[in-house]
Structure formats: C-alpha cells, structure tokens
Amino acid sequence: MSQRFGALSTSVLTVCMAVTIMTQTQASGVVTPLRARGYTVLPTPQQVELQANDIPIDASWKIVRADLKTDDIAVATLTQGLREKTGLDLAVAEPGGKTIRLAVKSGTIDPKLDEPRAKQAYLLKIADSGIEITGNTPQGLFYGVQTLVQLVKRDHLGHWLLPAGTIRDWPQYELRICHWDTKHHQDRIETLKRYLDWSACFKINMICFELEDKFAYPSHPVIGQPAAFTPQQLQDLVNYGLARYIQIVPNIQAPAHMGFVLKHDEFKNLRSDGSNYMAKFSDPATYDLIFDMYKDVIDATRGVDYLHVSTDEVYYAGIDAQDQKVRPYNPENRSLWFVEFVNKARDFAARYNRRIFVWVEMPVLPGHVEKLPPDIIDGVVANQDYVVAEKKLGLRTLVYVSMQGAEWLFPNFFDYKDQKGDLQPGRLKDAYDSPVSSRATKVNPIGTFAAGWDDSGLHNEVFWLGWVTVSAYGWHPAGATLPQTVTEFFEIYYGPGCDGLIDAYRDLQSGARLYEGSWEEVPSKERGPSYGSSQGKRKIVRRDEILRMPELPTLPDLKMDTETPVWKTRYSQRIERARAEAERNEKLRFTLQSYLPKVQQNRYNLEVLLALAELQRHHIEMMLGLAQVEQDLLKASALAERDKAQAVGLLVKAHDTIDRLVSDLDTTYANLKATWEKSMFPKNRTVDGKPYLHIMDDVKDHFADRRVDIDYMIAPEQRMDLPGYRAKLSQLIREFIKTQNLDAKALPDKVLED
C-alpha cells in the first residue's frame, strides 16, 4: 500500500471563488460538523454526532482485533495508515488500556438498508475510554478504518487528535465506479495497484476497466498488443482489488468501436460495410468472436459479478449488405439489431453468473426499451425518452458523469470560457448535481460512474479530483458543498499544506485551453476521410492542427508582405492570449516546484502536472517566439537596402530564436515522455518480435490515436517543421550574404552548418 494520508484544516474561501455556486436543493454552503472542527474525511459520513472535546492518541494506544484474522485487511490498513500518516506504530494486542477495537457485527447499522448497502455500513465511536469501529460486515469495517485514518489530525503542539463522538455511515448508492480507459496507453501493474489503494481510501468499490487490446486474449492472441496483460496478471490485479472490496469489471468494446480487433486481416470479413469501426450483425462469426473475448476476460476476473458489454455508439447497426438481406436498413431495424445484441450478450454473460452493464443509447428507439432484458444495468440513460420506459421495465441505472470528453492535456474541472468567450460550467458541477438530479436518478439508480476517457490521451493522474468527487457524492449526495469536497480532496490526496494546489489545477486548465484553442485546423495530409459520424454514413475530411510559419523574405532584396503578416494580423488575438497566459504559467510552474518537496504522498502526480505545465510553457514561448521572428524578419526586410549588416543581424537573431524553440521542444518532450513512462509502458512497442499494429478506426477521430507514440501531444508543432524552416532561413542568410558581397566569417556556426 502506498503512502496515502494527510490532514490540513484550511479555509474553503479559495475554493469558493473557484467552483460554481451550488444549487439551492443541495448543500447551502454551511460546512459539515467535522469540517467546522478542522477534521477532514471523504466521502462525507451520513450521520455525525460530536462531543465538545478531542481525543489525543499516542504510541500507548493498542489495536484490538476481536475475532478478526491476523492478516485482515482492515487491521493492516489501520496499522499501516496510522504509521504512514502519524508515525505511530500501534501494536495489535489483547484488550487493556486505551484501545482501538475492530469488530464485525451484523445489524450494527440500520437493518432497513438493502443488503448491498448494509454490507458497507459501519459505526465509529470515539471516546476517552477507547475507540470502536464496528462494521455490519468486513467491508463495512474496512470503510470505518479508512474514515478513522483520514480523520486523525495534528494540533499546533504536535499532538495527534480525533473528534470525540459517533459516526454512523453507509452509502446512498451501492456502486461507486471509476473508469480506467486504456485505449491509447497501458499502465504498469504497480501503477494500477497504487490506483486501487487510493480508490479504497475514498470508498470507491468498482473499476470499469476498458481493456481493448491491452489484454492477451487466449482465444485470439493476435488481438492483444505486444506485452498486453496476461490472464494471470489481470487475475492478480483483480484479487488485489477484491481484497480491498473493489471489483474490476472488464469492459469490451463491441459491436462498435472494434477497430482494435477488426484492424487485423483475419477478421476483415466481419467488417461492417468494409469499415473496421463496427462488426456485421447478421454474421454468427461476429458473436463467436465477441463472446470468445467475453469468456477470456470472465475467466481472468474470477470473483467479479459484472461484465460491461459496452454497446457504445452503435451508429450503423445493420448497414452491411449482408445484414440488409435479413432486415432493411432503417431506424426501426437499427434499434432491433441493438436490442438483439444486448439480449444475446445478457444470456451469454448469465451463463457465467455475470450481470451486464450496457450503454443504452442511439440507435435504440424508446418504444423498443421494453424489449431489453430487465436485469441489465443502463450505464448512461442517454435519452430523456428512455426514462419512463426504463422505469416501467425495472432497469437499474448508473449516474454517469464524465470527467473528460475531448479536452486536451487537462480536464475542464472548473468553469471556463469557450472559444467564443462564453462562460461554461466545469465538470465538477456535474459531479455535484448528477447524483441528485440526473436522468438516472429518475429511474432506479444503483451507483455512480466517473468516466475518464482516454480519447485525448490525458494521463490518468489528472482524473483523481474528478474520480473522487463523483464517488464522494455517490456515497452521500450533497453531503458537503462542492468547495468543501474539493478542498478536502487536496488535503487527503497530497497531505498537509497543499491547499495552494487548487490554484495550480485552475492554471493548468487555463493553459490547456490555450494550447487546445490556439491552433488552426487544415485538411489532413496524414489521414484519409472518416467513414461517418452519429449523423450517418458520409465521408468527412479529417482535419489536423497547425499554425502557419512566418513568411520568409525573398531574395535578392528580402522583400516581404508588410500589409498582412500572418502573426501580426491573423494570429494577433492568439498572441494576446499567449502573453496573458505567460505570467499565469510562470506562477504555475513555481507553485508545482515548491510543492514537490512538501507533499506527503502522490509526488509522482505532481511530476505529471509539472511536465504538462512545461509543455504549456513551451507552447506559449513558441507562439511568442514566432511572433518575434516575424517582427525581426520584417525589420530585416525594411533595412535590406540601407543597412545590410544590421539586416543580417536580424536574420541571425530570428534563426537563433527558431533554434532555441527547436531545442526546447526536444527537451520538453523528452522530459514529458520520461515522466509518462514511469507509470505506463512505452507506446508502439515491439516485444518478443511482435510489433504493434496501429490502425485507427474509421469513425472516431481520437486525438491520442493520431500517432503511434505520445508525440500526438506535440504533433501540431511537428507539422510546422521548425527544423526545416530553420534550414531554409540559414540558406537564405548565406545566399543574401553571398549576393550582397558581405563577409560570412561573422556568421554563427549554426547558420553556416544548418
């Protein structure tokens, strides 16, 4: 278990200014009783009764485990958690003296709760005479321990304290699910175990693991990428999670988003309408293939009760000519193909005692919802028209909240201005509102789902604030205000003295929006047109991001367009935004650097954030640098006739700027790549002679899928070809000196050699 805990009593004023104001139907801005006393815990407990005093704990206290086994996870979590946070190494001993007593007793907390939630309930009593943590089941006891370790805090004299009182706690929703999307990267096993430790800390109890080709499917080995997780590795990870009361549920994208499978030639006959986006619906081999994959992951996740069969974005169900021989291609039959697939998937999974999650969405018609199996779980409730039908059918639903859609580099957690300058709500507001008022709550919610899509290649480390916030409100909707929840996350996740990182997150978001919004889009020269979109089959020209380089002067007299220079005119607003962002970015980098030695845990997380801040810095310097290059070239052009030597000096200055930008990009990218690969494997690996086959699907245009390596993050600048521009400028300088009979000896070596 990684080092985890820290507590800090801070004002929530900073966050109150940073997060959207809450709705009137939820927490009104009053801090919770524990927070008012300077204690921190997430999720917020359901019932808290506090006495006026605090209870000091020291090394004289002991842990009594009642009838628990010596290796019980709750005992281990308590001893290690207190040791890491406080330095207190409490012995596990017999009763006597001041003790923390751990016990399991059914019915301790509200027997009116349904069984799945009652299993997670616990009672925590803190008094001078001792502390008692009692769970309805071992899982409830484990959660009570997590609460106790989070609560312990240090006073100004260095004493460790707990609040005297009683906490009765249980979850509002049975499931708190977080989404691990590995479409475009593969995490190291130790990384995922660390994620499980921290998920357990925040009472997250399920992971939706979107594997794609990061699993070595025994039935079809060609699908797994080089060094994909083996069945034994996945089962070991599942066991690690189950020991912490977390189920890792495999998610297999099908029958759409199957480019990771259909890209292989041996499955080309199953491509619907020739596209590798989706498989044919009428071919029995489609079901054989998909169910083989289901069986592979079921076998490698023993102990798990669920399977996510996806059904995500099945835009063109039945479009293949073979399918149309069975049913004409129209909206009704698209819906029926979807329903048929779900029924078959449900029946297959049920043979192995798995209940399925499904994205119930387009192309399902509301009138066909009644044809779905009643025991599936709808993970998204995508359409308001489904609500009545799903409720009538008795479906269970998930409160789906996406912490990432298509943002580059960093999510829009907080309110932000879009490209038109209009203020848009941040994703954290959805995390706060959805467990109370989303469509899923109008049906029969069983849990929350905190999505973090890998479509834009965001590092998983940037999702933690979103994962935890959604899950905290899944445990206790509106249990605390959003500002309090956000503040408590930083205090628990990073440790004491780290409240200033809230501003760093906001600055990272601002820099990411500058980076994302500063490019021009041009027809792609790297990728062909897509098959279609949610609006239907149609060729769509893909577009790539780029910025125009400053115009080079022409020989012999260095003439330039002085009326509409691109960086002075076309990109003027972009330059203004970059200048405004430069100061914010400098503060951001100093903030992250200053916190690196301060944080008590998750230092690597800050390394990731710092690498992103440095990429943003480079982008700002690139934009400002190219604007300056254009100015220098214009000045050189104006001086070409009357002061040739000074004109050459300005050309050399422009060359030096380009050279610095090229070198800085290389250094920045190398650092980012090295930082990423501490937690994930290099992309595009060849292992044991097996190369990675990279073919993006025909429909989705994922930013992270445009390159085989993580250089997709710098691809727009690579397209600008600054090294090539530098070489052309070097040649221009040399030729200008030659035609003007100037002395070339004074030129820098880089100009002469480029």
3-state secondary structure of 165: strand
In sequence order, the 6+-apart residues with CB closer than 8 A to the CB of 649 are none
Phi, psi of 435 (to 5 degrees): -65, -10
So what's the pLDDT on residue 29? Answer: 62
Residue 408: closest CA among 184, 207, 234, 599: 184
Count, residues in the chain:
754
So what's the pLDDT on residue 642? Answer: 93
Distance CA 645, CA 258 (A): 61
User: How far, rounded to the nearest angstrom, does the alpha carbon of residue 259 sit from its chain's CA centroid?
Assistant: 22
The DSSP call for residue 162 is E
Distance CA 599, CA 317 (A): 51
pTM of the model: 0.94
In sequence order, the 6+-apart residues with CB closer than 8 A to the CB of 291 are 345, 348
User: What Rg do the C-alpha atoms of the chain give, in angstroms?
Assistant: 29
The DSSP call for residue 318 is T
Nearest 10 degrees: Cα torsion 381, 386, 391, 392 = -150
Residue 495: closest CA among 85, 192, 152: 85
Cβ proximity of 437 and 734 under 8 Å: no
Cis amide leading into 255 (omega within 30): yes
Residue 124: closest CA among 106, 108, 107: 108
**Do β-strands 536-540 and 530-533 pair in parallel, antiparallel, or remain unpaired?**
antiparallel
Distance CA 602, CA 100 (A): 28
So what's the pLDDT on residue 8? Answer: 31
Sign of dihedral through CA atoms 602, 603, 607, 612?
A: positive
Distance CA 361, CA 315 (A): 10
pLDDT < 70: residue spans in the chain: 1-29
Distance CA 647, CA 634 (A): 10
So what's the pLDDT on residue 647? Answer: 94
Q: Which residues on neighbouring strands pair with residue 521, listed in sequence order? A: 545
Distance CA 202, CA 278 (A): 37
In sequence order, the 6+-apart residues with CB closer than 8 A to the CB of 619 are 511, 514, 515, 518, 578, 717
3-state secondary structure of 516: helix
So what's the pLDDT on residue 12? Answer: 33
Q: Could you identify the residue written with the tokens 């192995």?
A: 352
Domain at 175-496: CATH code: 3.20.20.80
Cβ proximity of 277 and 697 under 8 Å: yes
Distance CA 269, CA 280 (A): 9
Distance CA 366, CA 589 (A): 51
Domain at 47-169: CATH code: 3.30.379.10
* Type of residue at 240: Y
Q: Which residues on neighbouring strands pair with residue 540, listed in sequence order? A: 530
So what's the pLDDT on residue 110? Answer: 86
Residue 167: closest CA among 118, 202, 111, 122: 122
Nearest 10 degrees: Cα torsion 358, 360, 361, 365 = 140
Cβ proximity of 158 and 184 under 8 Å: no
Residue 9: closest CA among 33, 31, 35: 35
Residue 267: closest CA among 698, 295, 275, 701: 275
Spell out the domain ranges in the chain: 47-169, 175-496, 516-753
Distance CA 612, CA 508 (A): 8
Cβ proximity of 280 and 322 under 8 Å: yes
3-state secondary structure of 84: helix
